Chain A
Amino acid sequence: MTGPEEVRNTPFYGNVGPLLNEVLHAVDRLLETDEPTTIDLAGLPFGPGELEHLEATLGTGELSCKLDALGTSRIRETAYPGVWWLEHRNPHDEVVGRYIEITRTPEILSSQEADITAGRARLEDQLTT
């Protein structure tokens, strides 16, 4: 994993450092008020290699999930607990969204009411046929 010294001395364009500070502030908010934050990476400027540098800097934590819905999504906790990296792909395996979520659990991991209801109906059907 990239160390703090390397982050400060990034060989890139200077767009990663401010974002990591934003993540730090969001972690503070989560700890102090339990308020989650989502950072949409699509609207931020990154030079060649900077996004990869950001991802490598945040690293990989204990939990990693794959979601198969309208294409694959990968959701993993970074090396910093409470900081999640989400990458959504479409059915053609093209990236359609990248987010950093600072939260205890990303909402998309929770089973949804409508899906639970539909699943229950399927289970009931199976039991009665």
Chain B
Amino acid sequence: MKKRPTVGEVLQAKGVSRRGFLKYCATTASILALPPSMIPRIAAAIESARRPSVIWLSFQECTGCTESLTRSASPTVEGLIFDAISLDYHHTLQAASGDQAEAARHAAMEENHGSYLVLVDGSIPLGNPGYSTIAGISNLDMLKETVEGAAAVVAIGSCAAFGGIPGADPNPTGAVAVDELVTDKPVINVPGCPPIPMVMTAVLTQFLTFGQLPELDKHGRPLAFYGQTIHDRCYRRPFYEQGKFAETFDDEGAKAGWCLYKLGCKGPITYNACATAKWNSGTSFPIEGGHPCLGCSEPAFWDKGGFYNPLSTGKFDSGTKLAGAAAAGVAMGVVAAAAGRRRQDKFTREG
């Protein structure tokens, strides 16, 4: 295997001072949601970490996840690509195309067999291989071939993590999530429509820094970012406690910034970091813009009733709308995914 430079060597070659490096480590601790007391440990780990090879596969998706990633400010996507990882294949961002692009993917797989990361955005259609192909290869075949030598797989966005919008009722392409197909490798789900850029880069940074994958919740999501609900960290929470709610989008309560629970906010049951990480370099997030949370980082969010129905109507938790899609194949996939998660737990524990 080709010996890749360490991140410390890359930064040193670029003339970054130790002070600059400490700043880099401080922001890394912040994005990993680690206490500042961890900065010395992060500094030691990053200095010796070798840049991992990353292969990004895009299947049934809208490119929104890549759009989101390119808006990452900490680290910037170019900083991540040039300093921290070696992004060896990505349809949208790479200069190569056609045979050259596929050759780059194969070269990265061979050179880094057993140690590279595969990032997937988009769901995989099982209904007909022709629904979505790249270079004449079906999404399913490309996924199977590419993950064979991977250390781990990261499912980016709700489509890759849970089937997402392509998988919404009536699921015309037979779309499934990555962890329904990849059962012999650790799979980390980073859902969201799209995911917060910082969360995507943080998962990569965690792998780079500590050589291990983050601790995950029951849906395979990193607990550092999906450990609390939007509601837990919402700045409007004090209004919820006081019983002050907006009843319509243009009433006095809405203008005063009161809680959006009665307008259908799914914040209380949605696990994500939007309320603190925010969007557009920390500018705001949907609730700050006056719109209820849609719950986009939860499984099957698209099929769980109206976005503007309050949680108290019970529709969000109803499973009846999903019943039509619950074919035997899907059920088997769930079992397989559960088995995969047990392996992930083991991987995480052993570090």
Q: Which residues of A contact B (CB under 8 A)?
A: 13-15, 38, 40, 42-48, 50, 67, 69-70, 73, 88, 90-92, 94-97, 99, 107-108, 111-115
Provide the residues of chain B in CB contact with A114, threshold 8 Å. Answer: 17-18
Which residue of chain A lies nearest to B276 when distances are taken between CB atoms in the complex? A43
**B339 on the interface (CB 8 Å rule)?**
no
Cα A114 to Cα B17 in complex, Å, equals 8
Contact status of A115 and B17, CB under 8 A, knowing A40-B30, A48-B257: yes
Are the C-beta atoms of B18 and A112 separated by less than 8 Å? Answer: yes
Between A and B, how many residue pairs show CB distances below 8 Å? Answer: 97
**Which of these binds chain A: B183-191, B235-243, B316-324?**
B235-243
Tell me whether A45 and B235 are in contact (CB under 8 A): yes
Q: From the candidates B19, B37, B235, name the one contacting A15 in the complex (CB within 8 A).
A: B235
Q: What is the CB-to-nearest-CB distance from B195 to chain A, in angstroms, rounded to a whole number? A: 17
Closest residue on chain A to residue B71 by CB atoms: A94
User: Given known contacts A47-B288, A114-B18, is B236 in contact with A96 (CB within 8 Å)?
Assistant: no
Q: How far is the CA of A114 from the CA of B36 in the complex (A)?
A: 21
Residues in chain B near residue A15, CB distance under 8 A: 235, 238
Contacts of B234 in A (CB 8 A): 45
Q: Are A69 and B17 in contact (CB under 8 A)?
A: yes
**Smallest CB separation, A24 vs chain B (Å):** 19
Assembled-state Cα–Cα distance A15/B23 (Å): 27
For window 274-308 of chain B, which residues contact chain A by CB distance below 8 Å? 275-277, 281-282, 284, 288
Instruction: Give the CA-CA distance A92 to B319 in the complex, in Å.
Output: 46
Closest to A119 in B: B17
Asked whether A42 and B276 contact (CB < 8 A) given A13-B235, A92-B73, A94-B281, the answer is yes
Inter-chain contacts of B288 with A (CB < 8 A): 47-48
Number of contact residues on B: which range applies?
35 or more
B23 touches A67 (CB 8 A): yes
Knowing A43-B276, A70-B23 touch, does A115 contact B16 (C-beta < 8 A)? no
Q: Which chain B residue has the least Cβ–Cβ distance from A15?
A: B235
Cβ-closest 3 pairs across A and B: A69-B20, A112-B18, A47-B235
Contact with A along B244-281 (1 / 0, CB 8 A): 00000000000001000000000000000001110001
B24 at the interface (CB under 8 A from A): yes
Interface CB pairs A-B, < 8 A, 9? A38-B35, A40-B29, A70-B23, A70-B24, A73-B23, A88-B27, A90-B75, A94-B76, A97-B23
Question: Is B22 an interface position by the 8 A CB rule?
Answer: yes
B51-86: CB near A (< 8 Å → 1, else 0) gives 000000000000000000000011110010000000
Chain A nearest CB from B71 CB (Å) reads 10
**C-alpha spacing A96/B29, complex, angstroms:** 11
Q: Which residues of A contact B75 (CB under 8 A)?
A: 90, 96
Contacts of A70 in B (CB 8 A): 16, 20, 23-24
Known pairs A13-B236, A48-B288, A67-B23; list 10 more (Cβ under 8 Å): A14-B238, A38-B36, A45-B276, A47-B288, A48-B284, A69-B16, A91-B76, A97-B26, A107-B22, A108-B26
B332 contacts partner chain A, Cβ-Cβ < 8 Å: no
Q: How far is the CA of A99 from the CA of B18 in the complex (A)?
A: 19
Q: Are B33 and A43 touching (Cβ within 8 A)?
A: yes
Task: Identify whether the interface residues of B are mostly helix, strand, loop, or mixed.
Answer: helix
CB of A95 within 8 A of CB of B36, answer no
- CA gap between A74 and B275 in the complex, in Å: 25
Closest to A113 in B: B18
Q: Which residues of B contact A90 (CB under 8 A)?
A: 73-76, 79
User: Which residues of A sit under 8 angstroms from B276, Cβ to Cβ?
Assistant: 42-45
Task: Note all chain B residues with C-beta closer than 8 A to A108.
Answer: 19, 22-23, 26
Inter-chain contact A50/B26, CB cutoff 8 Å: no
Measured between alpha carbons, how far is A73 from B21 in the docked complex, in Å? 13
* Bound-complex Cα distance A42 to B24 (A): 15
* Residues of chain B with a CB closer than 8 A to A50's CB: 235
Complex CA gap A70/B131 in Å reads: 45
Q: Are B257 and A13 in contact (CB under 8 A)?
A: yes
Query: For residue B236, which residues in chain A have a CB less than 8 angstroms away from its CB?
Result: 13, 47
Give complex CA distance A45, B36 in Å. 18
Task: From A15, A91, A94, name the one whose CB has the most chain B CB atoms within 10 angstroms.
Answer: A94
Question: Roughly how many angstroms separate A97 CA and B235 CA in the complex, as a whole number?
Answer: 19
Residues of B within 8 A of A113 (CB): 18
Residues of B within 8 A of A44 (CB): 276
Quick check: B257 and A47 within 8 Å, CB to CB? yes
